[in-house]
Structure 1
Amino acid sequence: MTQEQTLLACKAGIAAWQAAFNNQDAAGCAAQYEEDSVMHARPFGTFIGREAIQTFWQGIIDQGFSDVDYTDIEWVTMNDDSCVLTDDSCVLTAKWTMNKAFGVVHHEQWRIQADGSALLAADDFEVKGER
């Protein structure tokens, strides 16, 4: 898979996650994570594994959060201490807004799976405030 194909798969992954969230589908959100993903949701804590991640997103949805949108999206190459843009992964940074909050994505690592799709291997985002 070329880097261009990898990037397209990663962009499809974030679009699928966003669509699931905006459809109030926590299981669909969690399905965009690798089974053993680690999600750092500041200030809420760290969630490990798809089941814990689904529980987190269900709680957010149950509180009435919806309509996530991303701006200032960057797909970046990082040094070996973090993540390298290779033929099998990409890293996203962005700002985000929802109907009731806003924040930043510090680091989303999307990794290509055996079937050619991309799933989140790691997620680190922060809520900066309420709307």
Structure 2
Amino acid sequence: MTDQQELALCQAGIQAWQDAFNRQNAAGCAAQYASTCTMQARPVGMFTGTDDIRAFWQDIIDQGFSDVVYFDVVWEKHPKAGYLLSANWTMNKAFGKIHAEHWVVEQDGRARLQSDDFEILGER
């Protein structure tokens, strides 16, 4: 697989996550995470594994958050595997920063998050 093909799969992964979130589908969001993923949601806390991560996103959705948009997106090749994404984001009720999403193409050919570190910076 070329670097460009790998990057395209990682970009498809984040698009699938955004589409799931904007459809209010927490299970679809969680499906974009590797089973052993660790998610740091500052200042809320740390979540490990797809069950905890799905519950986090379900709670966010239940509170009425929607319409996520990423901007100022930067992709960098990870030194070991996959790509790191950093960006800013907005939703209908909040905004923040993605410090590092580590996307890796798994054996089934789909890219999933191996780790996720983002921060909620304020309300809108």
Q: TM (normalized to structure 2)? A: 0.97
Q: Specify the code of the residue in structure 2 equivalent to 1:12.
A: A
Tell me which moved more, 88-97 or 59-68. Answer: 88-97
Q: Please name the residue that 1:122 is paired with.
A: 115
Paired residues for 1:55-66 under 5 Å? 55-66=55-66
Deviations 1:45-92 (A, max 9, x none): 000000000000000000000000000000024xxxxx42x5x40000
Where does the alignment leave 5 or more consecutive residues of structure 2 unmatched?
Answer: none
Q: Secondary structure at the match of 1:94?
A: strand
Q: Please name the residue that 1:73 is paired with.
A: 73
How far apart, CA to CA, are the structure 2 residues paired with 1:115 and 1:50? 17
- Equivalent of residue 112 in structure 1, options 105, 108, 111: 105
Q: Please name the residue that 2:34 is paired with.
A: 34
How far apart, CA to CA, are the structure 2 residues paired with 1:48 and 1:115? 22
Q: Please name the residue that 2:86 is paired with.
A: 93
Q: Specify the code of the residue in structure 2 equivalent to 1:93.
A: S
**Equivalences, count:** 124
Paired residues for 1:4-15 under 5 Å? 4-15=4-15
Q: TM (normalized to structure 1)? A: 0.92
Q: Please name the residue that 1:23 is paired with.
A: 23
1:36 Cα offset (Å): 0.7
The root-mean-square deviation of aligned C-alpha atoms, in Å, is 0.9
Stretches of 4+ moved more than 6 A in 1? none
How far apart, CA to CA, are the structure 1 residues paired with 2:3 and 2:111? 13
Percent identity between the two aligned chains: 56
How far apart, CA to CA, are the structure 2 residues paired with 1:54 and 1:23? 14
